[in-house]
Structure 1
């Protein structure tokens, strides 16, 4: 499949205060794309955050919040800042185009617009976005296991921390370590160790399958699971499920002092994030509880100092 093929079937958000313009653009794009629309800037921002379009066609001059303000708001939000914006406007002066580009737009189309030109520029920007998304995916994914890497976890952790703080909801974190993994590598070889990491990470991923959940490889044989909007009881359910799933793998581990098969140890911590608090405290807590789980026999999880 070519990049141009991937530019089809995009989700396009059209933002214009004139319904006739929306209808023309909708008719031009509906055969190739899923088309959304908004008649004002505030509604456009709401749709952008809730439905995550691949591209936004944005009118510059609108009552209330104009296109430049909308574009600036999009660029200031980590969740939607990477959505490309094409200004579609009756303004034709060079300084208007310059202002649009400085606000963060990737292209500028003047009204009255040529439908063929609109289609072509939409395809071009979608192709560029899909390429950028693919490159970003490579930089945020652990090559061996296919789960998120530490950089991706750090970015997501900060975003979810702020989201939970705003919504006044709890967050849980599970720090996981494969027991005696160095001994496993020494006994079976690094190639077998890689396969073990892949099998265990796949099992853990099955245990935290909600859209906001994230499993990441934190380093070596250490993994971390982020569970936004999950409390103590929910986190314990996930931790117990992980123990059960890893046991079901029945991966032989003759060099383990825990038992004849691969096991994991976990530290489980929960917190109510606030705007003033720092996410690093939750990571430190989960790490300390993981250490306690390993010190008290491994193949278990600890949730508090008294576990």
Structure 2
């Protein structure tokens, strides 16, 4: 069975077993302990609480739970962006074509029949964990900007939608800032594209240091523009963060071209804050928030650069 074991020194997975049969839970624990951290839930309520807390890498789910059908639980998970990509393997004593159709139609990744065969359980769980790991790594590569290493435009679009929905649901403020390197074309023309690339890398790293909270998100919007998403941050809180950013950029002391307004590289910032209590569901629009930040950035440019504007 060792053939199917993941190298846990390199990967650490969270596996959630949802089953009200104690003997099944113990059997699964004995099989899966070498594959990751194994957690348990006996019903749907406990399962959703644990999923919210630990965001498991894989769920083994009994179809027949005391408080909710496992197929319905899977459908609920697949509706939510935060849980839709978690592989769900059903545990069932049922067999037949009807079961297979129901499992896959609700978004299940696979099913394991009772009585459980330890070899089969280890093999299937390991296969789906490895597959998930590879998908995550590929998605990370697809969501990264090749030059600076921060998130790219595609990643930004997805993240903004998620954070906007979360902000509206939790009634917490959401701030979006657009950051532009001032007179960057002049910099590129004078120092060359290699130095220009290095300049962008240093700016991106500095923005990352500024937006260092776990929920903060930075992306390269295009060219010399970056976007910083600050969840649960109001107008005043964002201003403090962005003011600190301008100070950190100044401390880099990157020499600018003699034709530039300032002798060192600066950035202009425009930002806007979404306040859920002032917006109805019909008026909610994540793209509008980004548009307001873009207009504020234009205003900062018009007023002389190296400053912050709010709209």
Superposed, 1:150-161 pairs within 5 Å as: 150-161=153-164
CA shift, 1:255, in A, is 4.3
Matched with 2:219 is 216
| Structure 1 segments unaligned to the other structure (5+ residues) | none
* TM-score when normalising by structure 2: 0.93
* TM-score when normalising by structure 1: 0.94
Matched with 1:299 is 306
Q: How many angstroms apart in 1 are the aligned matches of 2:258 and 2:122? A: 62
1:234-264 CA-partner distances (Å, limit 9, x unpaired): 1011111110111111111124533111110
CA shift, 1:108, in A, is 1.2
Q: How many angstroms apart in 2 are the aligned matches of 1:174 and 1:259? A: 22
Retained in 2: the 8 A contact 1:176–1:267? Answer: yes
Matched with 2:13 is 10
Aligned length: 302
CA RMSD of aligned residues (A): 1.6
| Larger deviation, residues 22-31 vs 194-203 | 22-31
Q: How many angstroms apart in 1 are the aligned matches of 2:49 and 2:125? A: 22
Retained in 2: the 8 A contact 1:183–1:255? Answer: no
Retained in 2: the 8 A contact 1:180–1:256? Answer: no
| DSSP-derived class of the 2:59 partner | strand
CA shift, 1:92, in A, is 2.0
Q: How many angstroms apart in 2 are the aligned matches of 1:272 and 1:24? A: 49
| DSSP-derived class of the 1:175 partner | strand
2:31 aligned with 1:28, yes or no?
Answer: yes
Retained in 2: the 8 A contact 1:184–1:256? Answer: no
2:61 aligned with 1:58, yes or no?
Answer: yes
| DSSP-derived class of the 1:14 partner | strand
Q: Any runs of at least 4 consecutive aligned residues in structure 1 with deviations exceeding 3 A, and if so which?
A: 3-8
2:297 aligned with 1:287, yes or no?
Answer: no
Q: How many angstroms apart in 1 are the aligned matches of 2:53 and 2:258? A: 49
Retained in 1: the 8 A contact 2:178–2:297? Answer: yes
| DSSP-derived class of the 2:7 partner | helix
Q: How many angstroms apart in 2 are the aligned matches of 1:72 and 1:237? A: 42
Q: How many angstroms apart in 2 are the aligned matches of 1:112 and 1:9? A: 28
Matched with 1:87 is 90
Retained in 2: the 8 A contact 1:176–1:266? Answer: yes
| Structure 2 segments unaligned to the other structure (5+ residues) | none
| DSSP-derived class of the 1:258 partner | coil
| DSSP-derived class of the 1:109 partner | strand
CA shift, 1:43, in A, is 2.6
